[in-house]
Amino acid sequence: MIMTAFVITNTSGIAIGLFCSVLWLWLLRRIRPRIKISSKIAEKVDPELGPSRFYIKISNLRRRAAVDLQIELVTLHLKQASNGEIYAKTMIPIQNALPFVLPGRDADCIYGHVLRLAIRHDLRAELANGEATIVQLRIYARDELSGMGRVFEKRYTDPETDLIQGAFSPGETYEIH
């Protein structure tokens, strides 16, 4: 009888601890930023502006702003090293990577949480360089309220499917027309 009460007490303590841990992890997941990155890159060809310009669209999916944005666009080239293969990283400048805050979704502002990153570098030539070339976009953002951060990453490898001529439709849609 005493042993049964002891087992029930310990089991309920373990179950409550497990429930609280799962609840805490779920809450932590809810207070981190969520940013969506377009799966395609829009290529805008304008003879008046000179060479093609490329655009990547990102949007904040949370109501709170994503702060301390750090945006990095790199090409990764597969190189031979003495002990195998490695990726050599080359930075690509982003024309408008200055905003350090990506506002949250708001009922008053329809498009405020969407940002188009403009790139003047010739991504088509980079991706056509070989099978071992990858263009990678990496974004680090923190939640404005909790301070919890997260890294978002998207890789583009195929110039035929990842680069589409046109411009992004306005708003939250990621269609290129």
- For residue 51, give the CATH number of its domain: 2.60.40.1400
Q: Are residues 75 and 99 in the same domain?
A: yes
Q: Are residues 47 and 23 in the same domain?
A: no
For residue 108, name the pLDDT band (cuts at 50, 70, 90).
low
Q: Which domain holds residue 11?
A: 1-30
- Does residue 98 register a pLDDT over 80? no
Nearest to 11 by CA among 19, 25, 1: 19
Question: pLDDT tens, 110-152?
Answer: 677 888 999 988 888 888 876 668 899 999 999 998 888 999 9
Share of the chain above pLDDT 70, in %: 92
Q: How do residues 49-87 score in pLDDT, each as one tens digit?
A: 778 889 999 999 888 899 999 999 999 988 888 988 888
Residues 25 and 46 in one domain: no
24 and 83 belong to one structural domain: no
Domain co-membership, 98 together with 148: yes
The tokens for 94 are 């982003």
**Which amino acid appears at position 115 of this protein?**
L
Is there a domain that residue 171 lies in? Answer: no
Report DSSP letters for the chain, one per residue: -HHHHHHHHHHHHHHHHHHHHHHHHHHHHHTS--EEE-SSEEEE--TTT-S-EEEEEEEE-SSSPEEEEEEEEEEEEEEEETTEEEEEEEEE--TT---SEEPPP-SS-SSTTEEEEEE-S-HHHHHTT-TTEEEEEEEEEEETTT--EEEEEEEE--HHHHEEES-BPSSS---B-
- C-alpha 108/C-alpha 112 separation (Å) is 9
pTM of the entire structure?
0.82
Residues 160 and 134 in one domain: yes
10 confidence band (pLDDT: 50, 70, 90): confident
**Structural domain total, the chain:** 2
Residue 136 lies in a domain: yes
Q: Are residues 82 and 113 in the same domain?
A: yes
Are 13 and 88 found together in one domain? no
Claim to verify: residue 76 and residue 5 sit in the same structural domain: no
DSSP structure class, residue 158: -
User: Which residues are paired to 114 by β-bridges?
Assistant: 59
Query: Do residues 24 and 38 both lie within one domain?
Result: no
Q: What is the pLDDT of residue 99?
A: 66
